[in-house]
C-alpha cells in the first residue's frame, strides 16, 4: 500500500517581537503556508517563561489578541510551562490537530528541559513533520537549534559548554536580540567568537523585530533556503570567511 508523502512545515526563528504588529507580515506569510488564517489552528506555548510568575498568562493574552487580529479563529493558549505540564494529558490534548505552534520568549534551557522526551514534544514534532508551522521567538528560537549557549558565554575566552537543543534546525545555533547585544559587546569579539560553534553548526544572529524563515527544505544536493523577514537584519557567522549581514528580503542557503 502506497504511503502518503508528508513535508515538514515552515520554521521561523524570530529575534524578538512576538505577538506585536511589527511581525504581522511575517506571521501572515506563515499563516499563508497553511492556506490562510481560516485554516490555521494556532497553539501558544509560553514554556520559556515558565519560571516567571504571571508571564505565561501575559504571553497567552498577547498571542490571542495578535492572532485574532490576523483573522485566526482557532487560537489555543496552552499552559505547558514545565516538564510536568508537558506530560499533562489535558495540555497534550490541546496540541492535537493544531498546525501552528508559537514558542514565546524567556529561558531557552528551561524550554529544552521541559519539552525534551515529553508527550507534548512528541505531538508537536509529529505535527511539524506533517506540515505544521513552528515559530520560536527569542528563547523559543534558541531552543530550535542544534545546540544553544548564552551569547556572553560564547564570546568568553574560556571553554564554552554548548548544550544540546531540540534540533528542529540541527545545523544552526541562534542568538536573538542581536542588534541590542551588538550595542553592549565588542564588535571584534562578536565577529571572532561566534565561529566557535561546534563542527557542523553555523551561528546566526537575529535582530529584534526580525525573523529568518525557512522557505524550502534541504535536498540531497541543496541546502535549505531561508529568507529574512521583518524590519532589520540577520547575521550569518560562516566558518572560514567574514560574517554576512542580510537585509529584509535577502535569501540564504543553510
- Helices 108-115 and 119-129 pack at an angle, to 10 degrees, of 100
pTM for this predicted structure? 0.94
Q: Which CATH class is domain 11-253?
A: alpha beta
141/62 Cα distance (integer angstroms): 18
Q: What is the pLDDT of residue 2?
A: 39
- Name the residue ranges covered by the structural domains of the chain: 11-253
Q: How many CB atoms lie within 10 A of CB 71?
A: 12
Low pLDDT (below 70) residues in the chain? 1-5, 151-159, 183-195
The pLDDT assigned to 187 comes to 59
Amino acid at each position: 500500500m502506497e504511503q502518503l508523502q508528508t513535508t515538514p512545515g515552515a520554521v521561523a526563528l524570530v529575534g524578538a517581537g512576538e505577538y506585536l504588529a511589527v511581525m504581522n507580515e511575517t506571521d501572515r506569510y506563515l499563516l499563508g503556508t497553511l492556506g490562510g488564517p481560516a485554516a490555521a489552528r494556532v497553539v501558544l506555548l509560553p514554556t520559556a517563561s515558565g519560571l516567571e510568575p504571571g508571564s505565561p498568562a501575559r504571553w497567552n493574552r498577547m498571542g490571542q489578541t495578535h492572532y485574532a487580529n490576523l483573522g485566526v479563529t482557532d487560537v489555543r493558549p496552552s499552559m505547558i510551562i514545565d516538564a510536568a505540564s508537558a506530560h499533562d494529558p489535558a495540555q497534550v490534548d490541546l496540541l492535537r490537530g493544531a498546525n501552528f505552534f508559537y514558542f514565546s520568549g524567556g529561558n531557552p534551557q528551561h524550554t529544552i528541559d521541559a519539552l525534551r522526551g515529553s508527550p507534548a514534544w512528541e505531538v508537536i514534532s509529529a505535527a511539524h513533520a506533517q506540515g505544521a508551522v513552528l515559530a520560536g521567538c527569542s528563547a523559543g528560537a534558541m531552543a530550535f537549534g542544534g545546540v544553544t549557549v548564552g551569547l556572553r558565554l560564547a564570546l568568553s575566552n574560556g571553554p564554552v559548554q554548548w548544550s544540546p537543543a531540540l534540533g528542529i534546525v540541527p545545523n544552526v545555533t541562534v542568538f536573538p536580540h542581536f542588534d541590542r547585544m551588538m550595542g553592549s559587546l565588542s564588535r571584534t569579539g562578536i565577529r571572532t567568537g561566534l565561529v566557535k560553534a561546534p563542527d557542523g553548526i553555523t551561528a546566526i544572529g537575529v535582530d529584534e523585530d526580525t525573523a529568518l524563515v525557512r522557505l524550502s527544505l534541504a535536498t540531497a544536493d541543496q541546502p535549505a533556503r531561508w529568507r529574512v523577514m521583518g524590519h532589520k537584519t540577520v547575521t550569518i557567522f560562516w566558518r572560514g570567511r567574514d560574517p554576512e549581514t542580510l537585509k529584509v528580503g535577502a535569501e540564504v542557503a543553510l
